[in-house]
């Protein structure tokens, strides 16, 4: 029967549920034992991959053009007609395997995950999850439609970034205020969207008999190797170790800019200092792709080959344009065994870092394609982000033109300093975002009042972000949570970046001792997919999953020491 299933997701895009259901039903009816469970799992994996890739391709379509009505209809139809039914059948198959007591080789972690999913599953939540996804796309539409007029041109908010780097300070302030004014125009609309999302999420938790949405989401994200209390301890370690280092970063940049105090328009995305003069633009997107490809070859020839495959097969959508969803991501098409990178390139150095980052995710897909079962390829974001953040750091030494990169030696040193400083500044910002979500989802009665959310965000900002003067900009500061799409689209998905950055810093520290060995270890860890627990994945990459101040302090010291060494080239 399964021979009649399409071998490509493209041939599966228009299949109706009536055509799909018999395959799920056959898997449900088929008896399984130790002798045939591998074949059953392979059939299930192929069907799951088709469903997953179909959804990913539709999601790509609605993000590359938020005005594509056909793609939007496909998205809505999938969430209404296919997704809830497929999820219900997926759950039935998970329960069938769990009840069998079978232990397929290499399936220990997927089985552990299935037990957690089975405990959380409620049929009445399926339409709520679909609705949450649909409401979430409204946020993309709001952000994607935000434009400003500047010198006779209509610019998207991301397109302001290169102008912010080129303009003098008074023009930066004008641009910043213009962007903030446009974004705050949507304040009421975003607040209304927020309340809708919260009510859906709170209902999901109630239906699953969880004390709050944090407990629900923790289990849904399969965070089975650490607790909410661990992450709160990590916030405290960051406050103790990183906040003082971040303050030193801001002070150095205040001196570089020659100003009495840093203001938000002296920063990129309200956080990272703008360098004066800016790093030169890489030029065209074609040059961004070509040069980044050379850097990947320098890190490891096989990684360079992977990226070339993506170029050859049109798996990159990089330039910013109107009505393109904000942000950047790498998704995967598991039937085709290929990744896809989406971003909003506008000619600034940050685009290079984004492509290096998403490239790491793409390499994770290539390295784990050998695993036979779809469930083995599901990796916690805490480690998948080690793949991406680790790649940013591993690629850093090759940014110079002498290695085929983008910059002259002095510029390459500045780029690396900027990256390391951004890493130091990121941990406190991550703590703001994650702490905010801990408060939101454990204080539901207060969180449905956007004014209370504003107040919480402002308090957290003052706790973790020191060294920048926001006097007279209270409205702009307290609405910062409106500009963080993860809060709206991917709740609680942010601590992963902080934990992964600490893992990536440890991978990079190993590479400073032996580049070839560290990259080989990194690739072997990626090839494990989700077949071992999270601490073992970190260990396989030569790192440690950590929440403590001591481990964090070592990485902070390495970053500050390297910055000091690189400043000799300036």
How does strand 272-273 pair with strand 267-268?
antiparallel
User: Which tens digit of pLDDT belongs to each residue from 138-185?
Assistant: 999 999 999 999 999 999 998 888 888 777 899 999 999 999 999 999
Instruction: Report the interhelical angle of 37-64 vs 69-77 (nearest 10°).
Output: 150
- The Cβ-side half-sphere exposure at 224, using a 13 Å CA radius, reads 17
Q: What angle do CA 216, 222, 226 make, to 5 degrees?
A: 95
pLDDT at 332: 97
Place of tokens 């059939």: 43
pLDDT at 454: 98
Q: Which residues of 6-31 are buried (b: 16+ CB within 10 A; e: fewer)?
A: eeebeebeebeeeebeebbeebeeee
User: Which tens digit of pLDDT belongs to each residue from 433-447?
Assistant: 999 999 999 999 999
User: Which tens digit of pLDDT belongs to each residue from 321-343?
Assistant: 999 998 899 999 999 999 999 99
**Where are the chain's structural domains?**
2-105
Q: What angle do CA 357, 350, 344 make, to 5 degrees?
A: 80
Adjacency order of strands within the sheet including 329-333: 316-319, 338-345, 329-333
- CB 27 within 8 Å of CB 93: yes
Indicate whether 400 pLDDT > 80. yes
Distance CA 565, CA 570 (A): 10
pLDDT at 168: 87
pLDDT at 269: 77
Distance CA 295, CA 307 (A): 10
């Amino acid at each position: 029967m399964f021979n009649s299933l399409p071998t490509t997701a493209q041939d599966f895009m228009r299949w109706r549920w009536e055509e799909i259901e018999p395959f799920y039903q056959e898997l449900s009816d088929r008896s399984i034992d130790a002798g045939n469970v591998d074949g059953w799992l392979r059939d299930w994996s192929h069907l799951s991959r088709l469903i997953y890739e179909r959804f990913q391709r539709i999601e790509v379509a609605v993000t590359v053009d938020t005005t594509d009505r056909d793609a939007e209809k496909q998205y809505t139809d999938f969430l209404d007609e296919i997704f809830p039914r497929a999820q219900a059948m997926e759950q039935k198959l998970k329960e069938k395997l769990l009840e069998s007591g079978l232990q397929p080789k290499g399936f220990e972690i997927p089985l552990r995950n299935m037990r957690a999913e089975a405990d959380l599953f409620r049929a009445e939540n399926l339409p709520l999850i679909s609705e949450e996804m649909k409401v979430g796309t409204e946020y993309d539409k709001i952000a994607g439609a935000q434009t400003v007029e500047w010198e006779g041109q209509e610019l998207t908010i991301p397109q302001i970034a290169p102008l912010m780097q080129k303009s003098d300070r008074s023009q930066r302030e004008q641009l910043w205020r213009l962007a903030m004014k446009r974004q705050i125009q949507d304040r009421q609309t975003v607040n209304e969207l927020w309340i809708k999302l919260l009510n859906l999420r709170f209902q999901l938790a109630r239906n699953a008999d969880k004390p709050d949405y944090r407990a629900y989401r923790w289990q849904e994200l399969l965070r089975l190797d650490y607790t909410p209390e661990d992450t709160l301890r990590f916030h405290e370690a960051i406050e103790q170790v990183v906040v003082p280092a971040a303050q030193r970063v801001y002070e150095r940049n205040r001196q570089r800019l020659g100003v009495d105090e840093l203001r938000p328009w002296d920063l990129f995305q309200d956080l990272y200092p703008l360098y004066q003069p800016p790093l030169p633009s890489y030029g065209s997107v074609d040059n961004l792709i070509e040069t980044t490809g050379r850097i990947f070859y320098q890190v490891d020839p096989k990684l360079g080959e992977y990226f070339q495959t993506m170029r050859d097969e049109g798996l990159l959508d990089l330039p910013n344009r109107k009505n393109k969803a904000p942000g950047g991501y790498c998704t995967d098409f598991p039937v085709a065994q290929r990744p896809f990178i989406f971003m909003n390139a506008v000619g600034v150095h940050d685009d290079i870092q984004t492509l290096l980052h998403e490239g790491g995710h793409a390499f994770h897909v290539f390295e784990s394609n050998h695993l036979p079962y779809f469930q083995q390829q599901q990796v916690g974001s805490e480690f998948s982000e080690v793949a991406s953040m680790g790649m940013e750091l591993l690629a850093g030494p090759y940014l110079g033109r002498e290695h085929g990169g983008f910059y002259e030696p002095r510029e390459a040193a500045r780029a690396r300093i900027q990256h390391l400083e951004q890493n130091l500044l990121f941990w406190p910002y991550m703590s703001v975002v994650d702490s905010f979500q801990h408060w939101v989802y454990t204080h539901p009665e207060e969180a449905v009042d956007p004014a209370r959310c504003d107040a919480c965000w402002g308090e957290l900002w003052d706790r973790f972000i020191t060294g920048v003067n926001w006097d007279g900009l209270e409205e702009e500061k307290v609405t910062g949570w409106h500009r963080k799409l993860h809060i709206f689209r991917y709740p609680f998905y942010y601590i992963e970046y902080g934990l992964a950055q600490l893992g990536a810093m440890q991978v990079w520290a190993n590479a400073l001792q032996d580049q070839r060995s560290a990259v080989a270890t990194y690739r072997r860890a990626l090839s494990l997919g989700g077949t071992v627990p999270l601490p073992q994945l970190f260990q396989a990459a030569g790192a440690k999953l950590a929440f403590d101040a001591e481990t964090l302090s070592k990485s902070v010291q390495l970053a500050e020491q390297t910055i000091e060494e690189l400043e000799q080239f300036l």
